[in-house]
Amino acid sequence: MSKLVRAISENGGVVVSILDSTEVVAQMEAFHHPSAVVSAALGRLLTGALLMAATLKSEEDSLTLRLKGDGPAGLLLAVADGRGNAKGYVEQPCVELPVRADGKLDVGGAVGHTGILSVVKDIGLKEPYIGQVPLVSGEIAEDLTSYYATSEQIPTVCALGVLVERDLTIKRAGGYLLQLLPGASEEEISLIETNVGRMQSMTELLEQGHTVYEIIDMLLSGFNPNVLDETAVQYHCDCSRKRVEQIYRSLGQKELRQIASEQETVELKCQFCNKAYTFKTADFVKPDPAQQ
């Protein structure tokens, strides 16, 4: 099972969340069967959502990343909660694009280079917290960094990566979120810049067999990091017949009546796990008062 590890520098100025998300992204791939570039895009978004959800205060809290760019993949959604569960959805899973000149999958091309990233935090208040930033590149890590800089004023380094095999299975996936807390000194900031500048990509490091603990030591070299906590994470959809029924009912009587006049049953699929729920359309039609 994938594990998310959080560590903090000895003097408390720098905190890192890191995740080898290979299994989570592989589970996503099994549900959605996306093309390679969409696997990379949704895999990065899921990994980012899990890393960000690790900063939530309560297990009951949840965080949704909603990425709406002008690219062919359309809307991408990733939802993660304080218990380490994540699920994702993409509007167009089958987008095919040529690889970039540097040999990498063109995630920014699939997502689009302009659009909006929304971060929705449901932290048990009446209304969820919503922060929005324009996309920087659609490559996702840069967009999450920009969100933290703009909406939360937290200096952040984010790295996300997904390596897809030729047969479309997920070879490696992972990422980290490094954040400077208000106490960080100029010296610490410049040392972090040096450390980050030396880093290979997350998927390269995982490919070489490095553990997340070793990668923490590289990122926080010179900071004597201590592990704060570890959370098991997984792709998990919490949909239920009742919840899908509520969504169907919310179409309203006029629409429900119309559907019932055309078909006896209706099959609705959960957009996160593709589980199908079948309902009798007549069960949702209230008697027409005009005919009583």
Residues that bind Zn ion (CB under 5 A): 237, 239, 270, 272-273, 275
Question: 283 CB contacts (<8 Å, ≥6 apart)?
Answer: none
Output 6 or 87, the one with its CB closest to Zn ion. 87
Give residue 146's identity as a one-letter amino acid code: S
Among residues 2 and 85, whose Cβ is nearest to Zn ion?
85
Between β-strands 170-180 and 14-20, what pairing exists: parallel, antiparallel or unpaired? Answer: antiparallel
Helices and strands (DSSP H and E) totals, the chain:
9, 12
Q: Closest separation between CB of residue 187 and Zn ion, Å?
A: 48
Nearer to Zn ion, 3 or 275 (CB): 275
Shorter beta-carbon distance to Zn ion: residue 76 or 273: 273
Q: Rank residues 6 and 66 by Cβ distance to Zn ion and give the closer one.
A: 66
Instruction: Quote the least distance from Cβ 97 to Zn ion, whole Å.
Output: 28
Structure tokens, 82? 């304080």
CB 235 within 8 A of CB 244: no
3-state SS class at 251: coil
Nearest approach in angstroms of CB 273 to Zn ion is 3
Copy the structure tokens of residue 257. 């009546």
Nearest distance, CB of residue 26 and Zn ion, angstroms: 17
Is 113 or 275 the residue whose CB approaches Zn ion more closely?
A: 275
- Please count the residues of the chain: 292
Q: In the complex, what is the shortest distance from the CB of residue 118 to Zn ion, in angstroms, rounded to a whole number?
A: 21
* 151 φ, ψ (degrees, to nearest 5): -90, -30
DSSP letters spanning 113-162: SSEEEEEEEE-SSSS-EEEEEE-SSSSSHHHHHHHIIIII---EEEEEEE
| Distance of closest approach, residue 48 Cβ to Zn ion, in angstroms | 21
Nearer to Zn ion, 144 or 273 (CB): 273
- The torsion angles phi and psi of 225, rounded to 5 degrees, stand at -70, 150
- Whole-angstrom Cα distance, residue 260 to residue 243? 20
Work out how close the CB of 242 gets to Zn ion at its nearest, in angstroms, rounded to a whole number: 12
